[in-house]
Each structure stands twice: as structure tokens, then as C-alpha cells.
Amino acid sequence: MNTQQGSKFYIFGITLVATLGGLLFGYDTAVISGAVDPLKMFFHLDAATYGDLANFYHGATVSSALIGCILGSAVSGIFASGFGRKKSLLIASVLFFISAVGSGFPEMIFFSSKTDISTLLVSFNVYRIIGGVGVGLASAICPMYIAEMAPADIRGKLVSWNQFAIIFGMLVVYFVNFFIIKGKSIDWINITGWRYMFFSESFVAALFGVLLFFVPETPRYLALSRKDDKALHILSKINGAEKASVILKEIKETAHEKVEKVLSYGWKVLIIGILLSVFQQVVGINVVLYYAPTIFKGLGFGNDAAMWQTVIMGVVNIIFTMVAIFTVDKFGRKPLLMIGSIGMAIGMFAIGTLAYANIIGVSTLVFIIIYTASFMMSWGPICWVLISEIFPNTIRGKAVAIAVAAQWISNFVVSSTFPSLAAFSIPFTYFLYGVMSVLSALFVWRMVPETKGKTLEDMSKLWKINN
């Protein structure tokens, strides 16, 4: 094996470990999809118990992990800067494990199987929030870790692999949920089956935690922490000794420009990062991902059929995420985002029109797939690529934390309001997401800079000129 092949093997190995955080992100957020209805039955989240607030409580329970995601992403900058990227991911892996076990068996916090249902509901949501903190940390730090490791010419591809891992995690859990409930009675699913869905995540979380001990800290964090020798060693293994010295010099130059104040480069870069995050959510993607089986059942498919439709959609998501991975460094970030926005708008407007005409069938599935495929080849991976690379080194930790926190706040608002919006008018709900898709295209066209081929240090120069 020559030096160049060794470098590629090394960076791909590091990326593979880091993307397990993305896989857990996807697994944790999608595991709820198979448990939406069982949780409603088990915790009595119905009109008889909660009256007009039943839909709100059900939506809040399904979305409770997002509260933790907001908290985790908000503190991710503090963790990334204070503990480093690697240790922060280790903390996330522990939180994933605790959440997986506790969400499956919420009685364990009270060490009693006789705890009343309302108290168990609180316990379940506490564990889901703990897992959400892990997701929030991983969602901000995994792409940051990969971006700070990757050479500029393949950075978009490697960071996009994190989105592939997120979608793959969702697909895995769709299969896990399907095989857990396959052939089982509704009563068993509502009492026991949903527990196994959440507990299954603990195995992946444990693997992630163990493998993290075998990867290094990022060279950019090491350089900013004045550990130049260690940074140079890592850079040499990734880029070769000759390039490593040049890259380290550029990192050190940007590190001394301004003290890490988040507004050192003005408001514009921060606003763009926040709006990238917000638009990724307000186009409605997580409504489709979280509520997929429920949506399909509502469209007339049976329980098992709905789960299979969800799996089919997951496979399509994988395929189109691969499209982004192999084109993002060739065609650039902006063209793919704009094409994706147009595809999402077509999908959502079509679904809304079909719902208004009360047409239920394969056509609905086709347009849901068009919508999700458009998202997965664009906003899914590329939003994370841009968030991980547009911010200068000296503010990246804090700025990414703010942007990702905005993403999870938007996610929570969209996901928790979907049951109430759907109860009001399903066509209106999908038309609303279609309008957001159109606005996302206009935003990218007018405001987002192209970052293809630029080093992370180049971004400091770009925003310094525009400030």
C-alpha cells in the first residue's frame, strides 16, 4: 500500500467511525415512527383522557426528543470548544445508550413495574430528551469533525456520508421495527413491541462509543489548542508531510485573526447558517420521516403494508443520498440545493392536490417518493456540508451550535404541530410545505455562497472581505 492509498484508507476509516454518530442520529429520530400509535395506546393519549388536547399531547410525546436535540445542539459549541470534538462525541454515545435502555423500559428510573401510566409517560419523555441531547451533540459535531479532518477536494463527499449514515440509520430502524411487529398481535405491539424498538438502539450506541477510542482528535482543534505537533502528525497522515506543513500554517494564521466571538465576521454568515437550518426543516421532511407509517395508513394502507411502504421510501432515500455524495464536489452545493427545492415543491403541491381531491393510491406514494428523493439529493446532505464549512475556524464551534439549535427548534415546531395541522386540513398542510420549498430555492439563489473546492481557511478570507 503506497502513501496516498494509506492516507485515503485512514481518512475513510475515521469518517466511517464518525458517521456512526449520524447513523445513531437517524436511528434515534426515526425509531419513533413505528411506535407512534402504540405509544398513543399505551399511554392513553386519547380524547377520553385529554379531551381537545389529545393531539397536542400525542405530538409532544412523539417530538419530545427534539427538546433534547435543541439543548444538545445549543451546548455543542461549548462542548466542542471545551472538551474537543472527539470527547464530545463520546459523551453523545453514552447519552444514546442511556436513552435507548430507558425509553424501552421507563420503569427503571423508579425501579418498579407498578408505576402509574402518567408517571411512566414523564419518565419516557425524560429518557427521550436525554437521547435528544445526544442527537443534538452528534448532529452538530459529527459533520464538524469530518469537515475538519477531510481534505478540501473530497470534503463535500465525506461530510455527505454523514447524511447517508443518518438515512441508513432510519432505514435500518424501519426494518427493525417491521420485524419486531411482523406477525404479532396489536395488543402485544402496544404493550411490549414498542419497548424493543427503542432498546434496539443500545447496541449501536455501545459500538459507537467503543470505536471512538480508536480515532484521533481533529487537527484544527489540536492546532487551536496549541498542540501543533499532534496536529501536524494527523495532517501528515491525511494529506502527506509536504501539504501538512502548509495546512497547519494556514490554520495557525486564521487562529490568530480574531478572538472567538461569534459575530467577529458580521451577521450575514450567521443568518445564512441559521436560515439553511430552518429551511431544511420547514419544507416538512421530518413530518414524512416521523409519521410515515401513520401517513400511509391514513392514505388507506394496512399496518404491515404501511411499514413496507416506509421501507421502500427508505431505500429510495439511500439511492438519492448517494447521488448527492457523488455529485456535490463536482457540480457544487448551490445547483443541487435549488434543483432539490423545485422537486420538493412539485412533490408537496401534488400530494396536497391529491389529498384535496380525495385521491388515495399509488400516485400518492409516487409523489411522496419524488419529494423525499429531491430532499435526499439536496437539502438532506448538503445543508450539513454547508453548515460544517461556511463558518471560519475561530467561530465554527459556536456558530454551528447556533445554526443547529435553530434547526432543531424548527424541527420541533414542524413535528409537534403536524397532528393539529393535519386535523385542520391535510391539503393545506402539504401546500404550506410546498410554499416553503419554493422559498428555500429563492433563498439559496440570492444568499448562499458556493463553497466547492475552498479550504476551511478560505472561508475566513471570504467573510472578512464581505464583512
Give the DSSP letter string of 248-290.
Answer: HHHHHHHHTTS-S-TTTT-HHHHHHHHHHHHHHHHT-HHHHHH
Distances in Å between the Cα of 378 and the Cα atoms of 163, 292, 324 are: 10, 20, 6
Q: What is the pLDDT along the chain (467 residues), one digit of tens a residue?
A: 455 655 778 888 899 999 999 899 889 878 887 787 888 888 777 766 667 777 777 777 877 887 888 889 888 888 988 888 999 999 999 999 999 999 988 887 655 556 677 788 888 889 999 999 999 899 889 988 988 888 877 877 888 888 789 888 888 887 888 888 888 888 888 888 889 999 999 999 999 999 999 999 988 888 878 888 888 888 888 877 777 787 777 777 665 544 456 666 667 888 888 999 899 988 988 777 655 566 666 655 555 555 566 667 778 878 888 888 787 777 878 888 999 999 999 999 998 888 788 776 677 778 888 898 899 888 888 887 888 778 876 777 778 888 888 888 887 788 777 777 777 887 888 899 999 999 999 999 988 887 776 666 666 666 665 55
* Domain spanning 3-215+257-466: CATH 1.20.1250.20: yes
- Per the CB < 8 A criterion, the answer to whether 68 and 103 are in contact is no
In 3D space, the residue among 449, 189, 140, 433 whose CA is nearest the CA of residue 293 turns out to be 189
- Per the CB < 8 A criterion, the answer to whether 459 and 270 are in contact is no
Give 234's contacts (C-beta < 8 A, 6+ positions apart): 149, 216, 217, 218, 219, 222
